[in-house]
């Protein structure tokens, strides 16, 4: 069986559950954030995020060419937040029915035992833009189309962020638990996690 079809099926399941027209899976949410920020072309821009968040978030902003500005926040981070002024959302602590926000790029996390949907390691981007969808698919696959590399014409620079089909198959099994017996979608409460105050660390500013 074509392994790409397994990943594509997992993407379809996530899109259906979250209410997003499109979903692109990657190997982790940090790389999803990086891709989304690169697509938004944030070079030189100041990006505002909570001071208490996961350390990879400011890293991805800086790697994508942006500048980090911290907004004072509570020690516990819950659900999701927007990386202002972009359309990018860090939705690592939210996974529930029909959660997609139209016009946005929502980055999900399936990594670690504290996430709702677990695939050992993995992430995704939700979008309603066909242009963004196609760009993300190429970028995550070393710039390639999903064809044998001998058949590609290599006209796009990307990264190797593809979600392996083994992880996608775990996700396909686990996503069944987000539906009731009658087939209706379950509403799932947000996760709340403690994070350090990253504004105290000079490396991020």
Residue by residue, pLDDT tens for the chain (205 residues) are: 677 789 999 999 999 999 999 999 999 999 999 999 999 999 999 999 999 999 999 999 999 999 999 999 999 999 999 999 999 999 999 999 999 999 999 999 999 889 999 999 999 999 999 999 999 999 999 999 888 889 999 999 999 999 999 999 999 999 999 999 999 999 999 999 999 999 999 999 8
Residues with Cβ < 8 Å from 104, sequence gap 6 or more? 82, 87, 88, 89, 126, 127
Give the span between the Cα atoms of 115 and 109, in whole angstroms. Answer: 7
Cβ proximity of 127 and 133 under 8 Å? yes
The size of the chain, in residues, is 205
CATH number for the domain formed by residue range(s) 3-204: 3.40.640.10
Cβ proximity of 32 and 71 under 8 Å? no
Q: At residue 52, what are phi and psi to the nearest 5 degrees?
A: -100, 105
Cα-based distances in Å from 71 to 11, 44, 99, 130: 33, 18, 24, 32
Give the span between the Cα atoms of 90 and 188, in whole angstroms. Answer: 17
Closest of 126, 31, 145 to residue 87, by C-alpha? 126
Q: Are strands 76-82 and 88-93 parallel, antiparallel or unpaired?
A: antiparallel
What pLDDT score does 1 carry?
Answer: 61
What pLDDT score does 13 carry?
Answer: 98
Q: Which residues of 93-107 are buried (b: 16+ CB within 10 A; e: fewer)?
A: bbbbbebbbeebbbb
Joined tokens for residue 129 = 């833009």
Give the span between the Cα atoms of 106 and 103, in whole angstroms. Answer: 10
Joined tokens for residue 156 = 């796009």
Give the span between the Cα atoms of 21 and 31, in whole angstroms. Answer: 21
């Amino acid at each position: 069986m074509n392994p790409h079809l397994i990943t594509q099926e997992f993407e379809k399941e996530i899109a259906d559950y979250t209410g997003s027209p499109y979903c692109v899976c990657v190997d982790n949410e940090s790389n999803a954030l990086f891709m989304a920020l690169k697509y938004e072309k944030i070079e030189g821009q100041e990006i505002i995020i909570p001071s208490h968040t996961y350390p990879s978030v400011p890293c991805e902003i800086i790697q994508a060419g942006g500048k980090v500005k911290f907004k004072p926040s509570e020690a516990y981070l819950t659900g999701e937040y927007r990386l202002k002024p972009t359309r990018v959302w860090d939705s690592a602590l939210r996974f529930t029915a029909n959660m997609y926000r139209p016009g946005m790029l929502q980055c999900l996390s399936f990594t670690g035992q504290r996430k709702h949907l677990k695939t050992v390691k993995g992430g995704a981007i939700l979008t309603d833009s066909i242009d963004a969808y196609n760009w993300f698919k190429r970028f995550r696959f070393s710039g390639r189309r999903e064809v044998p590399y001998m058949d590609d014409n290599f006209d796009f620079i990307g990264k190797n962020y593809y979600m392996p089909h083994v992880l996608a198959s775990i996700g396909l099994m686990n996503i069944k638990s987000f539906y009731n017996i009658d087939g209706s979608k379950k509403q799932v409460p947000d996760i709340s996690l403690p994070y350090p105050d990253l504004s105290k660390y000079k490396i991020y500013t």
